[in-house]
């Protein structure tokens, strides 16, 4: 069979532990036998990041800026334990955080749905995608405990020396305070990325804050988001989708009654909470993909889960593992489909779809890894190792 030619190079970012093992299998068995593709390879494995003083991560981000589409394997975000385990020079930052800042992007998490796994929320028939704003709020908050009576004020001094003050609270007994901030340009980029994603997916866009209570801070988000959405009204109409603003509590309750097929854009903290609620509601981390979309239309695809450390240690002992490769496969197919769409190469797009259909056909035929067994109805007779599952998908491609 002749390989399908991919016109523009794609950026590939390798990663760590079990997902690195799975990554190589996907590439060798599901991608390279079928596509004639120029992959610009960046090894974001922890050893290489340490060896290059993390320069490799910035190089990968620049390459995505140059080529437009990247696919990334899960990577370790080091902590004290990892510094010892890998003998690191220092505690390098999360590669995802670095790439997200470099591309000024928003991360969208999307569940992969199959007929024989029902979401815990009965009404959900189509994916709910969460768009989480990833700048500021409590993640960049400053905090103070108050142990003696006194007053706390917000003081804003401009570079020219103009000053304004606001009383936070006059404390008569002990307490605590926090100040948070956000930036107009970050909120605007977030809105633009969410609008791009909703138009790409052709699904309704909801945005939720609590502006009835926070009449300045949350209202500022609502105003900017609403303005960006209004500017794209004609595109929304052409795509047959709607924009809605709802209060966050109302949206949370209504989401349970919806069929899905919604992109739900939320603030940083709400996104932290609700992305896990939605993931649990749909079933399994092994079936959740994630895409970083920048406001200028750059894309990076990955699995939403981590490097599956526990399974990797089993793998190192020589035990075969049954780690679910589906989210990593869909990272590859998401990138391949987007590459085909941007290049205008229908055959490339169709190949991405063919692999996704093969994966879903396997699962719906009861051919699955161990993690899915308890979620399935009817229950399959048994489960496959990671490698057996990938081979079962490959067998459906020829
Ligand atoms: P994890 O990789 O998300 O895995 C946690 C647990 O979830 C696993 O032990 C496994 O449960 C289950 N699981 C997750 N993905 C699975 C899959 N594909 N198939 C089957 N089961 C799956 O989190 P972790 O092991 O706690 O973290 C490992 C490393 O990942 C950390 O160093 C963290 O920094 C990194 N991380 C990276 C990213 C990223 O690059 N995007 C995201 C999150 C975390 P059982 O053990 O019960 O089988
Ligand atoms: Mg969280």
| Total count of domains within the chain | 3
Residue among 386, 307, 333 at smallest CA distance from 20: 307
Does residue 248 share a domain with residue 385? no
Task: Answer whether 306 contacts ligand 1 (Cβ < 6 A).
Answer: yes
pLDDT for the residue 151? 98
User: Which ligand number lies closest to the CA of residue 285?
Assistant: 1
Does residue 9 share a domain with residue 107? yes
Task: Answer whether 307 contacts ligand 1 (Cβ < 6 A).
Answer: yes
Q: What is the mean pLDDT of the chain?
A: 95
**DSSP class per residue in 270-314:** HHHHHHHHHHHHH--GGGEEEEEE-TTS-EEEEESS---HHHHHH
**Domain termination site, one of 250, 282, 314:** 282
Looking at residue 193, what DSSP letter applies?
A: H
Does residue 159 share a domain with residue 53? no
Q: Domain span at residue 242? A: 118-137+181-282
**Domain termination site, one of 239, 254, 282:** 282
Does residue 302 share a domain with residue 227? no
Does residue 63 share a domain with residue 131? no
Does residue 250 share a domain with residue 125? yes
Tell me the β-bridge partners of 167.
153
Given pLDDT bands bounded at 50, 70 and 90, which one contains residue 101? confident
Residue among 38, 93, 89 at smallest CA distance from 63: 38
Does residue 234 share a domain with residue 205? yes
Does residue 122 share a domain with residue 175? no
CATH code of the domain in which 48 resides: 3.40.718.10
pTM recorded for the entire structure: 0.90
Task: Answer whether 118 contacts ligand 1 (Cβ < 6 A).
Answer: no
Nearest residue (by CA) to ligand 1, atom 16, is: 286
User: Which ligand number lies closest to the CA of residue 306?
Assistant: 1
Which residues have a Cβ under 8 Å from the Cβ of 93 and sit 6 or more positions away? 54, 77
Tell me the β-bridge partners of 288.
111
**Matching residue, tokens 């010892």:** 84
Does residue 107 share a domain with residue 208? no
Does residue 102 share a domain with residue 85? yes
Nearest residue (by CA) to ligand 1, atom 41, is: 74
Nearest residue (by CA) to ligand 1, atom 44, is: 306
Does residue 81 share a domain with residue 31? yes
The H or E element containing residue 123 is: none
Task: Answer whether 76 contacts ligand 1 (Cβ < 6 A).
Answer: yes
**Domain termination site, one of 282, 314, 338:** 282
Ramachandran assignment for 53, one of left (phi > 0), alpha (psi -120 to 50 degrees), beta (any other)? left
Task: Answer whether 370 contacts ligand 1 (Cβ < 6 A).
Answer: no
* pLDDT at residue 282 tops 90: no
* pLDDT at residue 1 tops 80: no
Task: Answer whether 71 contacts ligand 1 (Cβ < 6 A).
Answer: no
The predicted-structure confidence for 234-256, as pLDDT tens digits, reads as follows: 999 999 999 999 999 999 999 99
Of the listed ranges 32-41, 80-89, 114-123, 327-336, the least confidently predicted one is: 114-123
Question: Is 144 exposed, middle or buried (CB count within 10 Å of its CB: 0-12, 13-18, 19+)?
Answer: exposed
Mean pLDDT computed over 163-170: 98
Does residue 230 share a domain with residue 188? yes
Nearest residue (by CA) to ligand 1, atom 27, is: 306
Task: Answer whether 386 contacts ligand 1 (Cβ < 6 A).
Answer: no
Q: How far is CA 271 from the centre of its chain?
A: 11
Task: Answer whether 96 contacts ligand 1 (Cβ < 6 A).
Answer: yes
Given pLDDT bands bounded at 50, 70 and 90, which one contains residue 284? confident
Pairing between β-strand 175-179 and β-strand 142-146 as defined by DSSP bridges: antiparallel
- Cα 108 to Cα 121: distance, rounded to the nearest angstrom: 20
Of the listed ranges 200-209, 237-246, 371-380, the least confidently predicted one is: 371-380
Residue to substitute in 72, 275, 306, 359 for testing ligand 1 pocket (most ligand atoms within 8 angstroms of CB):
306
- Cα 196 to Cα 297: distance, rounded to the nearest angstrom: 8
Given pLDDT bands bounded at 50, 70 and 90, which one contains residue 97? confident
Task: Provide the sign of the torsion angle of the four alpha carbons 283, 284, 287, 292, taken in this order.
Answer: positive
pLDDT for the residue 175? 98
């Amino acid at each position: 069979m002749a390989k399908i030619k991919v016109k523009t190079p794609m950026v590939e970012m390798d990663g760590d532990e079990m997902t690195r093992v799975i990554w190589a299998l996907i590439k060798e068995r599901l991608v390279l036998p079928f596509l004639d593709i120029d992959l610009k390879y960046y090894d974001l494995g922890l050893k290489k990041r340490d060896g290059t003083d993390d320069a490799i991560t910035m190089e990968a981000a620049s390459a995505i800026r140059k080529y437009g589409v990247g696919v990334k394997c899960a990577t370790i975000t080091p902590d004290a334990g990892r510094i010892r385990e890998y003998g690191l020079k220092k505690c390098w930052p999360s590669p995802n955080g670095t790439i997200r800042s470099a591309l000024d992007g928003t991360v969208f998490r999307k569940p992969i749905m199959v007929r024989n796994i029902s979401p815990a929320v009965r009404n959900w028939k189509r994916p709910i995608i969460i768009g989480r704003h990833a700048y500021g709020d409590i993640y960049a908050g400053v905090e103070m405990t108050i142990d003696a009576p006194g007053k706390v004020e917000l003081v804003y001094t401009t570079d020219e020396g103009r000053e304004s003050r606001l009383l936070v609270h006059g404390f008569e007994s002990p307490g605590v305070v926090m100040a948070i901030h956000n930036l107009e340009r970050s909120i605007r980029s977030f809105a633009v990325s969410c609008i791009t994603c909703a138009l790409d997916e052709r699904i309704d866009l909801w945005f939720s804050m609590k502006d009835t209570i926070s009449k300045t801070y949350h209202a500022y988000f609502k105003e900017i988001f609403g303005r960006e959405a209004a500017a794209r009204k004609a595109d929304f109409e052409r795509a047959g989708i709607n924009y809605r603003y709802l209060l966050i509590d109302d949206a949370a309750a209504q989401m349970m009654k919806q069929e899905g097929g919604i992109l739900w854009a939320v603030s940083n903290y709400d996104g932290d909470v609700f992305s896990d609620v939605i993931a649990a509601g749909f079933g399994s981390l092994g079936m959740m993909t994630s895409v970083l979309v920048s406001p200028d239309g750059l894309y990076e695809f990955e699995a939403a889960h981590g490097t599956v450390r526990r399974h990797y240690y089993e793998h190192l002992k020589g035990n075969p593992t049954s780690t679910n490769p589906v989210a990593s496969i869909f990272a590859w197919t998401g990138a391949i489909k987007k590459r085909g769409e941007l290049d205008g190469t229908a055959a490339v797009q169709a190949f991405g779809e063919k692999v996704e259909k093969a994966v879903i056909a396997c699962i719906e035929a009861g051919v699955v890894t161990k993690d899915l067994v308890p979620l399935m109805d009817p229950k399959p007779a048994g489960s496959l190792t990671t490698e057996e599952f990938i081979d079962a998908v490959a067998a459906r491609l020829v």
